[in-house]
Amino acid sequence: AKKCFAQGVPLGDVNPLGRAAKPKQAFRTDAKCADGYVVLGGWALPETGGTENAPWFSLKIFPKDAPWLFKEDGSSQWASTSAEFLGTMAALKAFGWLEGGSVGWPLMGLMMQMADVLIDIGGKLRLHWRPREENQEADNLTNEVFDGFDANRRVALRLGDLPLELFLSLQNAYADFDQKRKDFKMVNPVKTRTSKKIKLAEKTAW
């Protein structure tokens, strides 16, 4: 039977009668997108106590690490949804769960990578959005404010630790396609259609 995940935590085998169990929160994450960097932050909800008993991570990413999250001017705000999804993957990796419509890029590629990972471990992931005021601890981690967290419980995490092999191969193919598309547009510019009003004005009078 497949394992169910609610924000990354296995809930046990699927109920054969199809009765939905109440999801148990495993972790909370957030992502901060700024000019020149992105910060992913998250903490695992402990069985007892608060953040002082929680494993946590705060991962700062620069354009040289993940150019696909940044535009040429260094801005990353446009990729906030992708960054938040990457934060979920970071939490799954940091806290040990990976052992054993129309969507834009790079979010589509990250979703494909996540699906591939979940297939490998036989898992199912449910994500629940929370308002910022209900997710303050994770928001603090993205701002690199670690008050309330035990430094000894910080999980060492690098971007290279995340299982992104499939995504990176797709990213290379996407980048190649995007460049060819731009080159094609330069060689074959789209002709602007002349309005009917202008055509009538330019028409030679007989």
Domain of 29 in residue numbering reads as 3-202
Residue type, 137: E
Average pLDDT for 71-89: 96
Q: How many CB atoms sit inside 10 A of residue 5's CB?
A: 21
pLDDT (0 to 100) of residue 182: 86
Q: Into how many domains does the chain fold?
A: 1
Q: What percent of the chain has pLDDT over 90?
A: 57
CA nearest 2: which of 115, 114, 124? Answer: 124
| Tens digits of residue pLDDT in 36-78 | 999 999 999 998 889 999 999 999 999 999 999 999 999 999 9
The residue ranking higher by pLDDT, 156 or 187, is 156
Average pLDDT of every residue of the chain? 83
- Burial of 187 by CB count in 10 Å (0-12 exposed, 13-18 middle, 19+ buried)? exposed
| Tens digits of residue pLDDT in 111-152 | 899 999 999 988 888 888 888 889 999 999 999 999 999 999
pLDDT (0 to 100) of residue 132: 84
Q: Give the separation between CA 15 and CA 116, rounded to whole angstroms.
A: 23
pLDDT band at 3 (very low <50, low <70, confident <90, very high): very low
Contacts of 162-166 with CB under 8 Å at 24 or more apart are 162/86, 162/89, 162/90, 162/93, 163/89, 163/93, 163/98, 163/113, 163/117, 164/113, 166/112, 166/113, 166/116
The residue ranking higher by pLDDT, 184 or 194, is 184
Residue 102 confidence (pLDDT) above 80: no
Q: Give the separation between CA 151 and CA 79, rounded to whole angstroms.
A: 29
The residue ranking higher by pLDDT, 108 or 18, is 108
Residue type, 104: G
pLDDT (0 to 100) of residue 197: 57
pLDDT (0 to 100) of residue 9: 37
